[in-house]
Chains A and B, each alone.
Chain A
């Protein structure tokens, strides 16, 4: 039996405690270690799969069959696996990306290196529907056009909590998945712990509210929040990551490790509750159509907020597929100007680049000439400063059909060093291939998932 299977049963006095150890693939490492050591957790979730990450991982897997999972998986597991194993904390993560089996092998290796025994890893697959998408006719929700099979790099359906629940009921120490809806990573341990059914929409709505609040880690504990003098946050340099306490009756409290940086208030929780939400009464996941429209927040003490009133209705009949497609290239160049006349020289530089691209016949669309410090983020209309800034940075970015044209855009900016206005410094030229993510819907019945297990005896 795995260590985690021997876990204590949560009670109203000591509710289920789930921590979030990462809100994106590049997130800090130490807050998760702090959660393991001081969080008194039952589960630790790492959410590391952005929209585009899996398409990039799919390309990595095509080059190397042992690659295609999160590049920082080993580093994260080396930081937390032994501590979680010793304390009976189960890890759930989507760091499997395009290759959950290879990711599980990596976790197993970390366990062996650390001398761990009696460790079971569950591997959830079935989200990769590339073969299905290339073999059928599907329409993009965004463009309304049919996908051209040859252009598709990746296609992953958002799985829900169900396969993870199955893995947890089997009694495992680590669950590795590919694409799973972010809140479902948290819904699963709540459902598995309390034996809630997967058609108990109200309770699934409650669990989804907790998962949604936690999925971006530090964004609910004071990250993406501070505004000096208006919304001050202490200790951002050692921001604590969140813990959700879930009682048997469905009560949810958001908190963090005492003494860590950041803060948990009704304000941080309200901002995060609405983050990436459209209609608050219908937040769709594979598990439920969650209803946050009646949610309220109550301060229960320092860095403790109770979240109540979430509910839900029947889950959607279809599942969403995230489709990665090549969509041309982006060439970008930047160069800075300073001192008296800086803005005029930057504008002249932009003008020179525009004329050069016409002269040499570069094919591009969506070209932007931004003056960073003046109008780069929101355009000139909202930029109301009357005096020129001391320094300004020109940014030229354009979408091109070919890599060669992307480089020609970028290099025209760099060439301003010797051919452009006076005093241009710090030029950069970059090119990237665009992996555009689009989506489509498929019937649930077309998708089948499975759970495999791997163990260190």
Chain B
């Protein structure tokens, strides 16, 4: 299933760094986010867009993860030639990421 079914999120930009929050709709799904939406998977998902690192911060009391991705905005909002220079639409892309329906069904992607 798609991440969108259990989570929502928002993109923010600072220079060439993009952050995307991934927030459980139901706090009980937070452990699944922690398990399935790893920094490595997010990095692989954004291959070709994110040229730097992906760091994940965990906020259990908010049921939220925060992904910080460097060299992710085509050199920075103010100089990028991209149509969406802010990367505002990147959170919607991430919501389309496939996550495992169950522990046994989980794919062991990078």
With both chains docked as a complex, state the minimum distance between the C-beta of A338 and any C-beta of chain B, in angstroms: 19
CB distance A273 to B62 under 8 Å? yes
Which residue of B is nearest A230, CB measured? Answer: B4
**Interface flags, B74-110, vs A, CB<8A=1, else 0:** 1111110111100011100100100000000000000
Size class of the B contact interface (CB-based, 8 Å): 35 or more
Knowing A280-B59, A330-B81, the reply to whether A378 touches B8 (Cβ < 8 A) is no
Judge whether A437 is part of the interface by a CB distance below 8 angstroms. yes
- In the bound complex, what is the Cα–Cα distance between A297 and B62 (angstroms)? 7
Whether B76 pairs with A274 at a CB distance below 8 angstroms is no
Instruction: Tell yes or no: A198 within 8 A of B by CB.
Output: no
- Known contacts A278-B19, A279-B57, A297-B62; is-contact A231 B12 (Cβ 8 Å): no
Residues of chain A from 231 to 289 with CB closer than 8 A to chain B in the complex: 231, 267, 270-281
Give the contact-size bracket for chain A: 35 or more
What does DSSP make chain A's interface, helix, strand, loop or mixed? Answer: mixed
- The answer to whether B23 has its CB under 8 Å from any CB of chain A is yes
* Residue among B68, B74, B78 making CB contact with A278, cutoff 8 Å: B68
Q: Which residues of B contact A137 (CB under 8 A)?
A: none
Q: Tell which of A230, A366, A376, A438 touches B8, judged by Cβ atoms closer than 8 Å.
A: A230
A378 in contact with B13 (CB, 8 Å): no
Which A residues, 50 to 109, have Cβ-Cβ distances below 8 Å to chain B?
51-52
Is the pair B61, A271 in contact by a Cβ cutoff of 8 Å?
A: no
- Closest Cβ of chain B to A277, distance in Å, is 6
Write the chain B residue with the least CB distance to A334: B83
CA distance A421 to B93 in the complex (A): 32
CB contact under 8 A between A376 and B74, given known A230-B8, A274-B12, A293-B59: no
Interface residues of A (CB under 8 A from B): 51-52, 142, 224-225, 227, 230-231, 267, 270-281, 293-297, 309, 327, 330, 332, 366-368, 370, 372, 376-379, 381-382, 395, 397-399, 434-439
What are 14 A-to-B residue pairs whose CB atoms are below 8 Å? A51-B77, A271-B9, A274-B64, A275-B21, A276-B13, A276-B14, A279-B57, A280-B66, A293-B57, A293-B59, A296-B62, A367-B81, A398-B81, A437-B76
